[in-house]
Amino acid sequence: MSVSRRQVLSGGAVAGLAAATSGIGRTEARPRRRPNFLVLVSEDCGAQHLGVYGGRAHTPTIDRLAATGIRWTHAFSAAPVCAPSRFAMITGVAPESCAPANQMRAAGALPTELNGAGWTQFLRDAGYYCTNNAKEDYNAAGLDLRRTWDESSPQAHWRKRPPGAPFYAVFNPTIHAPIVAGESIAVHPFRRRQPSHRSAMRIRTPRAHR
């Protein structure tokens, strides 16, 4: 079943996803192999840094994944900071629509259509094994992680799935640092005096990313 662009943009992203996944588990005369989804989240790192997008970083494994998959050229983060963006990733809706989810260190109410869990519940209902490794800073009030993920921990991995089950696996490291060494970083003088910012700059070294 296809989901129209109008249905998604009119605020029906969650309902549209449910409709799109509702037929995944149906019995067909010639069942098709269901795709697996591997989600690699890199914070504070624009696509322009990666080799596959012409950046300076040496990313041969990501390049191979792109060569055998789909490379998006017009995909953008839902927010300029991490937690509101992660709210959009776990709900399928813009954080502004569930204010104050669009603010850092906030707790936005989940869309009623999700019934207290992330959208991956629909994949799980369709037989997918869903994991998150391991950041859970979703900016969401009352999010039921047990219903959202089969496992959410530093040990979560698609390899733990039942035999033959398709998977949706997220890997989100907790480090906030660019992966490209040698680039100049412009820092406001006020920020240079902040201990937290000095600490962040110390981890932005080539040794930290080997």
Q: Which two tokens stand for residue 52?
A: 């596959």
Strand segments, DSSP code E, in the chain are: 37-40, 108-109, 129-134, 140-141, 151-152, 167-172
CA–CA gap between residue 47 and residue 72 (Å, rounded): 10
Q: How far is CA 66 from CA 3, 32, 35, 51, 53, in A?
A: 25, 23, 15, 11, 10
CA angle 65, 68, 73 (to 5 degrees): 75
Q: Which of 45, 82, 98, 130 is catalytic?
A: 82
Asked if 82 is an active-site residue, the reply is yes
Catalytic residue annotation: 82
